[in-house]
Amino acid sequence: MARPGRPPMKKPDLSKWVDSFIEMLLTERNAALNTRQAYWRDLADFSLFLKGNSKVEIEVATTEDIKAYVKELTQRIHVKGEKSGNIASRTIARRLSALRQFYNYTISENIRTDDPTSTIDSPKQKRVLPKTISEKEVSHLIKIAGEGKKSNARRMTCLMEMLYGTGLRVSELVGLPMSAIGEDQKYITIAGKAGHERMVPMTSTAQKALLSYLETREEFIGEDKTSPLAKWLFPSRTSDSGHLTRQRFAQLLKDLSDRAGFESGVVSPHILRHAFATHLLQNGADIRSVQKMLGHADVTTTQIYTHVLTSEKKDVVEEKHPLSKKKAS
């Protein structure tokens, strides 16, 4: 179960309870494919560790097995050159979270009576503030997106305006069916994580970009107007899914970023989502409204953007305040 964009992991002979757990994530929690793949990879990695060390199946692993795995995983991360303590902490915390979920499942299924992760603490992590770009930089990107071949330029402009104007996750954006577009193109209906549906309004500029793109959309479908591709807002004849993929959009965005003169890594689909949220809050939007548009289940997830604003204000004070200038001099 390789995650798109990653090299496939050699499929190990996993315990039947891992497959059962992954199936439960789909049937009971309606977990997204990416979520199920991430759990599978984490549990597969621990299973392979057990087979090479204590020779036991994952459902009977002990606390000592897990501690040994965390130690080995930490060493493995540093050997790869990932020297950042926070990268190591996030990876280990995610693996432990997957194991906790799995062992809670085994207890609920009467496979075992104890949780071997219960006495293991996750590593502490520093708060990582989301990266973003300025309104001026977004405007420059959209301007450059409109240059070039007519149909491609209109599609890229539409993608940019909709991503920045709605805060959609990139997977939500590229996978939009035509049926998601509301009356007069003023809003879109999103089937988000775990099947939660939400309605997101579109800005006037996003509406104009969408109408302009729709005039040339048939060029991406081909001559057969009854093709299954016609189902999608952003169809693609080279994709198995029938629509533009996350990977292809990321590539298009990288090319756009290069043409716009940005350094590598400054612009990404997720950074544009961060920009959407940050700029809304900067301009006085209510955090609950931003939460609903982003599709966050918990407002605390959205509140990280208020920390971005606090950090920016602190930088302004340190740079502009006369006392700070005196200290610097």
Say yes or no: 211 and 94 in one domain.
no
Answer for the pair 214, 154: CB distance below 8 angstroms, yes or no: no
Among 89, 108, 127, residue at a domain's last position = 108
How many residues can be counted in the chain?
Answer: 329
- Is residue 267 situated within a structural domain? yes
Say yes or no: 194 and 73 in one domain.
no
- Is residue 325 situated within a structural domain? no
The low-confidence residues of the chain, meaning pLDDT below 70, are 1-12, 78-88, 124-130, 192-195, 307-329
Answer for the pair 15, 57: CB distance below 8 angstroms, yes or no: yes
Answer for the pair 290, 302: CB distance below 8 angstroms, yes or no: yes
Answer for the pair 197, 189: CB distance below 8 angstroms, yes or no: yes
Distance CA 192, CA 277 (A): 17
Tokens of 216: 């040339």
Say yes or no: 154 and 260 in one domain.
yes
Distance CA 288, CA 300 (A): 10
**Which residue(s) pair with 190 in the sheet?**
198
Say yes or no: 188 and 253 in one domain.
yes
- Is residue 117 situated within a structural domain? no
- Report the sign of the C-alpha dihedral through residues 95, 97, 99, 101, in that order: negative
Say yes or no: 141 and 102 in one domain.
no
- Is residue 128 situated within a structural domain? no
Among 108, 123, 158, residue at a domain's last position = 108
Question: What is the number of domains present in the chain?
Answer: 2
Domain CATH for 202: 1.10.443.10
- Is residue 172 situated within a structural domain? yes
CA angle 105, 108, 110 (to 5 degrees): 110
Say yes or no: 238 and 89 in one domain.
no
Tokens of 243: 């629509």
The DSSP-derived string for 1-57 is: -PPTTSPPPP-----HHHHHHHHHHHHTT---HHHHHHHHHHHHHHHHHHHHTT---
At 289, the amino acid letter reads S
Q: Beta-carbon neighbour count of residue 287 at 10 Å? A: 15
Q: Which residues are catalytic?
A: 169, 193, 270, 273, 296, 305
Domain with 243 in it: 135-316
- Is residue 323 situated within a structural domain? no
* Residue partners of 247: CB distance under 8 A and separation at least 6: 4, 5
Say yes or no: 144 and 26 in one domain.
no
Say yes or no: 312 and 171 in one domain.
yes
- Is residue 261 situated within a structural domain? yes
Say yes or no: 149 and 66 in one domain.
no
Distance CA 178, CA 42 (A): 35
Among 108, 125, 152, residue at a domain's last position = 108
Say yes or no: 303 and 212 in one domain.
yes
Chain position carrying tokens 């961060």: 274
CA angle 121, 123, 127 (to 5 degrees): 130
Say yes or no: 141 and 59 in one domain.
no
Say yes or no: 146 and 45 in one domain.
no
- Is residue 293 situated within a structural domain? yes
Domain CATH for 102: 1.10.150
Per-residue pLDDT reduced to its tens digit, 184-238:
778 898 876 656 778 888 889 999 999 999 999 999 998 777 889 999 999 999 8
